[in-house]
Amino acid sequence: MDLGTSPIANNFLKEDQLSQMEPFYPLHAYVCEDCFLVQLDEVVSPTDLFTEYAYFSSYSDTWLRHAKTYADMVIDRFALGSHSRVVEIASNDGYLLQFFVARGIPVLGIEPAANVANAAIAKGIPTVIRFFGEEMAQQLVAQGTKADLIVGNNVLAHVPKLNDFVRGLKALLGPRGVITMEFPHLMRLMEEGQFDTIYHEHFSYFSFTTVGRILGAHGLTIFDVEELPTHGGSLRVYVRHAGDTAKTVADRVTELREREDRAGFTHLKQYLSFGERVTENKRRILDFLIRAKQDGKTIAGYGAPAKGNTLLNYCGIRSDFIDYTVDRSPHKQGYFTPGTHIPIYGPEKVKETRPDYLFILPWNLKEEVMEQMSYIRDWGGKFVVPIPNMEVL
């Protein structure tokens, strides 16, 4: 999939930077013809991407509810308590670990972005500011840390050195411990044309079959899987040491692997046809925007997510189409979107300007956004959802 060139999706700009040179990088997704892992070229250093990070998980109510539901479930399912230790990799601002702390369970967060890690530390959540890999895992083990539960929510795609990362998981996991990893499901991404999920911070894109191969190569076994609605369709895999046969492999593991095979995800042809659907949806999005502007309509955006910046840059959507966008995070307000230079305000801007359309960039949160911004109906405003298919609601 060739999405042209794009800036780093979370590199928001201040006004005095708008006239300066802005780096753009190739955004091309490739597939391995042997294992069917989809990856980008590593054209940007992970240190440049993650040392200072604009995304704070706690600004999404939907995501916080998802995190609390998960914490309650996993505590009960695996009988976690004060005797247990939970480690989250890419723990962000403590959005998840706070729910374990509230239940009296010892936790440790690992987060490379100092600005968001410090937000977690301020909440009283122990957090190490560092990239995770085998070396760090071995150091934690040498200090006496073994995890009963390792959590990785939307981190696996961000890892440039997958084998080193998985070796770290293996080393840190206690003998009877469990790993849960959540990540966007490649099958859903491709079936629904979710091209905006592709950006430089996401080095890899996983089918269930491929992630099982990666884990299996390092002595880890998936024993259960859930299909989730988050991020347009994600998987949550439950992983154990290969030798921990007390945790039997659920039927849905085999069922999903067979379903992917029937859908063509173990055949190269399936991957090579993806670009055609993406191009067609780009035309539909631009056709709507052109017609709306020709009719004299005003359009504002909602959100400034990384995926939105892929969409804006790939489609060439700038302030000639979208006047501005709004975001709940104060860490983005007052900035401009990378590449397209659309100004970002607080949500109150929408009431001030009363746009005809609100273009939802985090389309995976459309229900939350439409509920939060329902008042645009008062002046006849409508919502625009660009993915999986362009629609006006």
Other CB atoms within 10 Å distance of the CB of residue 232? 19
Topology of domain 32-271, CATH: Rossmann fold (3.40.50)
- Mean pLDDT score of the chain, rounded to an integer? 93
For residues 324 and 300, the answer to whether their CB atoms sit within 8 Å is yes
- pLDDT-based confidence at residue 160 (cuts at 50, 70, 90): confident
Residue 266 CB partners (closer than 8 Å, separation 6+)? 36, 209, 260
| Residue range 327-336, pLDDT digits in tens | 998 989 999 9
Q: What is the pLDDT of residue 47?
A: 60
How would DSSP label each residue in 121-152? HHTT--EE-S--SHHHHHHHHHTT--EEEEEE
Starting at the edge strand found earlier in the chain, the sheet holding 325-326 runs: 344-345, 325-326, 299-302, 357-360, 382-385, 391-392
| Residue range 285-308, pLDDT digits in tens | 999 999 999 999 999 999 999 999
| Residue range 83-119, pLDDT digits in tens | 999 999 999 999 999 999 999 999 999 999 888 899 9
Q: Where in the chain is the domain with CATH 3.40.50.720?
A: 286-392
Other CB atoms within 10 Å distance of the CB of residue 283? 11
Q: What is the mean pLDDT of the segment spanning 145-152?
A: 96
- Given a cut of 90, whether residue 232 has pLDDT beyond it is no
The Cα–Cα gap between 167 and 141 comes to 13
| Residue range 187-201, pLDDT digits in tens | 999 998 999 999 998
Q: What is the mean pLDDT of the segment spanning 191-215?
A: 94
CATH of domain 286-392: 3.40.50.720
- Given a cut of 90, whether residue 42 has pLDDT beyond it is no
- Given a cut of 70, whether residue 46 has pLDDT beyond it is no
Q: What is the pLDDT of residue 54?
A: 55
Q: Is the dihedral of CA 52, 315, 61, 333 positive or negative?
A: positive
| Residue range 238-291, pLDDT digits in tens | 999 999 999 999 999 999 999 999 999 999 999 988 988 899 999 999 999 999
Q: What is the pLDDT of residue 146?
A: 95
- Given a cut of 70, whether residue 55 has pLDDT beyond it is no
Starting at the edge strand found earlier in the chain, the sheet holding 147-153 runs: 127-128, 107-110, 86-89, 147-153, 173-184, 234-241, 220-228
Phi, then psi, of 100 in degrees rounded to 5: -75, -40
Q: What is the pLDDT of residue 201?
A: 87
Q: What is the mean pLDDT of the segment spanning 20-42?
A: 92
Least confident of 270-284, 314-328, 377-391: 270-284
Residues in the chain: 393
- Give the pTM: 0.86
Q: Where in the chain is the domain with CATH 3.40.50.150?
A: 32-271
